[in-house]
Amino acid sequence: MEERNASRANISMSDMIIDQVIPYITDPRDRASVSLVCRSWYDLDALTRKHVTIALCYTVTPARLWRRFKQLESLNLKGKPRASMFNLIPEDWGGYATPWVEEIATSFAGLKFLHFRRMIVTDSDLEVLAKSRGKDLLVLKLDKSLKSLVLEESTIIEKDGEWLHEIALNNTVLEALNFYMTDLSKIRVEDLELIARRCSSLVSVKISDFDILDLMGFFRAAGSLEEFGGGSFNVQPEKYSAVRFPPKLCRLGLTYMGKNEMPIVFPFAAVLRKLDLLYALLDTEDHCLLIQRCPNLEVLETRNVIGDRGLEVLARCCKTLRRLRIERGADEQGMEDEEGVVSQRGLIAVAQGCLELEYVAVYVSDITNASLECFGTHLKNLCDFRLVLLDREERITDLPLDNGVRALLRGCHRLRRFALYLRPGGLTDTGLGYVGQYSQNIRWMLLGYVGGSDAGLLEFSKGCPNLQKLEMRGCCFSEYALAVATSRLKSLRYLWVQGYRASENGHDLLAMVRPFWNIELIPSRRVVVADPLGEAVYHEHPAHILAYYSLAGRRKDFPDTVKPLDPVSFLTS
């Protein structure tokens, strides 16, 4: 009897302890482990889980999410494969926000943060979010409590600007609003101003093209604003000297800002922590002039027009830099600065000068093993590394990159995300084996034009113990090798491949079939696009394989361009 009482007391002690501890456990992998210990811990995690990221919206149904995590406050939903950001995926592939919005509106009372990435969002979806939840309720708590709405890079089917007007009228707690780089054009500036006036916690706003002069009222009203992105410069530069930015602004990205408008940033350049020059109109010299005024820069995003010289200035001046992204500028002659190429020279400077770097993504025109070794030697905090070798130069100084890649992977032991996009001969089968061998912690990888044969892939798949998501493009691997590699990569739950050696009718993919694993094919398509001259250009898009674990079974909204792999069809004609 005493024994039983004692053990009952023990149970309630540990319950009390775990109740106190669990709010501090936020990492999703830790949470997953906690939920597997016993039933009561599973229930406790379910009740207290605040944030969920669903990396692919078809892996689970909205209803299932609701059954598991009723108290969710923050949801990050992703739809189309990442390749859709590069125009590789059919527009109607899927990723509809509607079923999720319906569930959110009816069930998730506590949801405050909502992030749709690469999904298809309609105006009415946004209205549902902004308006009352149902005719039985007086007021929708959701719109009043919506703190963050991020629509960046999603396809928005826009009817009018009413949804923003609804938010402007009903919300006072909005902290972040983001429809950067969307085509939303029916929004009214007055609604932005209204939101700025009513939401005293408005910290981050990133919008589509509005002239900066038209936003002066908005800037005056947004006293708490720390981050702004978007806008546009359409009149003479002198007119912008009257613009006053909010006092706390320290993260900035101004679209179409040229060298003559750049000085409006100078007064507060020294407090800038983040600078987005991806959509600015600056040349290499302009970059040098601006960057040297920003000693506190932590995040820089720009195009390769920054050049090796700009990177050297960056390395000299910005010792606290944590994130660096260098995108690919225009290819045509005369559209970008001639100095605007990045090579091993710039990489070495940055590796030696910016020791706090955690994220580096860069398009280079030339590369050496030594520069990658430099990364491995100096950048011990690097978590995310992405390198794309541009295809304009025929001759690259130092290929293959086997040894450099190995040195980088061994030196940067914190790496969790890794992308290497090269060209034939860029990385041998041996080098690909190194990638497998030295990627203990890597969870996501994009590999382009690596390896030389199936042997490389098979060697690679012996390693990568934590690889959850793998994307491959332009590699020479056969379907069968892909199937075998998939079965070996024990953590893999998402695979995307474009460019592979197909078997007749895809029958070699049968080796990949297993329970809960959805396999979809996007057969090769011929896509007509209008080139800059308005002429029709035919792009032949090679086939894709997309495979992922799902608890939701096969999706029911396939467009014509996407075909599920049906093993049964191989048995019948």
Partner 1 sequence: MSRVAVELDFFPVQKVTSSDGAPPRKIFDRRRSFRDIQSVISKIDPEVLKNVFASGSIDRSLIGKSSVSVPSTPKAKGYQNALPPLPVYTPTFRPTSSSEGSNETTSPLTIFYNGTVSVFDVSPLAGENILKLANDGGFKAVQPADSKPGEIVETFNGDLPLFRRKSLQRFLQKRKERLTLLSSPYGGSTDSASFGQNTPAL
Q: Are 535 and 528 in contact (CB under 8 A)?
A: no
Least distance (Å) from partner 1 to the CB of residue 328?
6
Is residue 572 a contact residue for partner 1 (CB under 8 A)? yes
Please calculate the CA angle 554-558-560 and round it to the nearest 5 degrees: 140
**Span of 108-116, 121-129, 462-470, 518-526 interacting with partner 1 by CB under 8 A:** 518-526
Does residue 443 interact with partner 1 by CB under 8 A? Answer: no
By CB under 8 A, name the one of 154, 170, 255, 486 that touches partner 1: 255
Between strands 469-473 and 148-150, the pairing is unpaired
Report helix, strand or coil for 349.
helix
Q: Answer yes or no whether residue 3 interacts with partner 1 by CB under 8 A.
A: no
SS3 (DSSP) at 328: coil
Q: Is 537 in the site for partner 1 (CB under 8 A)?
A: yes
Interior/surface letters 379-395, b for 16+ CB within 10 angstroms, e for the rest: beebbbbbbbbbeeeee
Minimum distance, C-beta of residue 272 to partner 1, in the bound complex (Å):
21
Pick one of 480, 517, 549, 558: the residue that binds partner 1 (CB under 8 A). Answer: 480
Instruction: Please give the Cα distance from 260 to 290 (Å, whole number).
Output: 12
Residue among 477, 480, 488 nearest 511 (CA): 480
Our finding on whether 185 is near partner 1 (CB under 8 A) is: yes
Nearer to partner 1, 63 or 529 (CB): 529
Q: How many residues bind partner 1 (CB under 8 A)?
A: 82
- In residues, how long is the chain? 573
Instruction: Give dist(CA 537, CA 359) in Å, integer.
Output: 36
**179 forms part of the interface with partner 1 (CB under 8 A):** no
* Distance of alpha carbon 418 from alpha carbon 435, whole angstroms: 10
State which of positions 449-478 bind partner 1 (CB under 8 A): 449, 452-453, 473-474, 476
Q: Count of CB atoms within 10 A of residue 65's CB? A: 21
Q: Which of residues 140-159 bind partner 1 (CB under 8 A)?
A: 153
Q: If binding is defined by CB under 8 A, does position 566 make contact with partner 1?
A: no
Is residue 289 involved in binding partner 1 (CB under 8 A)? no
> Residue 526: beta bridge partners?
540
**Of 102 and 190, which has the nearer Cβ to partner 1?**
190
Binding status of residue 189 toward partner 1 by CB under 8 A: yes
Given candidates 92, 103, 123, 211, which one binds partner 1 under the rule CB under 8 A?
A: 211
The span of 231-239, 269-277, 463-471, 548-556 binding partner 1 (CB under 8 A) equals 231-239
Q: Does 41 bind partner 1 (CB under 8 A)?
A: no
Between 141 and 501, whose beta carbon lies closer to partner 1?
501
Instruction: Point out which span in 1-9, 22-30, 80-88, 340-348 binds partner 1 (CB under 8 A).
Output: 80-88
Nearer to partner 1, 111 or 367 (CB): 367
Nearest distance, CB of residue 232 and partner 1, angstroms = 5
Sites for partner 1 among residues 299-338 (CB under 8 A):
303, 327-331, 335
390 forms part of the interface with partner 1 (CB under 8 A) = yes
d(CA 230, CA 505): 47
Q: Which residues of 443-462 are buried (b: 16+ CB within 10 A; e: fewer)?
A: bbbbbbbbbbebebbbbbbe
- Write down the least CB distance from residue 474 to partner 1, Å: 5
* 218 belongs to the binding site for partner 1 (CB under 8 A): no
Q: Determine if residue 363 is left, alpha or beta; phi over 0 gives left, psi from -120 to 50 gives alpha, anything else beta.
A: beta
Interface residue with partner 1 among 187, 196, 252, 470 (CB under 8 A) is 187
Verify binding: residue 20, partner 1, rule CB under 8 A. no
Say how far apart CA 295 and CA 270 lie, in whole Å: 6
Out of 6, 9, 242, 533, name the contact with partner 1 by CB under 8 A: 533
- Nearest distance in Å: CB 499, partner 1: 5
| Shortest Cβ 371–partner 1 spacing (Å) | 20
- Quick one: which segment of 82-90, 126-134, 242-250, 338-346 binds partner 1 (CB under 8 A)? 82-90
State which residue, 30 or 338, has the beta carbon closest to partner 1: 338
Q: Yes or no: say if 20 and 48 are a contact pair by the CB < 8 Å rule.
A: no
Written as one string, the DSSP assignment of 365-389 is S---HHHHHHHHHH-TT--EEEEEE
* Residue 18 binds partner 1 (CB under 8 A): no
Q: Is residue 217 close enough to count as binding partner 1 by CB under 8 A?
A: no
Query: Dihedral of CA 376/380/383/384: which sign?
Result: negative
Q: Among 173, 213, 249, 289, which residue sits at the site for partner 1 (rule: CB under 8 A)?
A: 213
**Region of 208-216, 283-291, 434-442, 460-468 interacting with partner 1 (CB under 8 A):** 208-216
Rule CB under 8 A: choose which of 103, 123, 209, 358 binds partner 1. Answer: 209
Q: Is position 419 an interface residue for partner 1 (rule: CB under 8 A)?
A: no
* Three-state DSSP state, 488: helix
CA distance 484 to 456: 12
- Secondary structure of 497-563 in HEC code, one letter for each residue: EECCECCHHHHHHHHHCCCCEEEEEECCEEEEEECCCCCEEEEEECCEEEEEECCCCCCCCCCCCCE
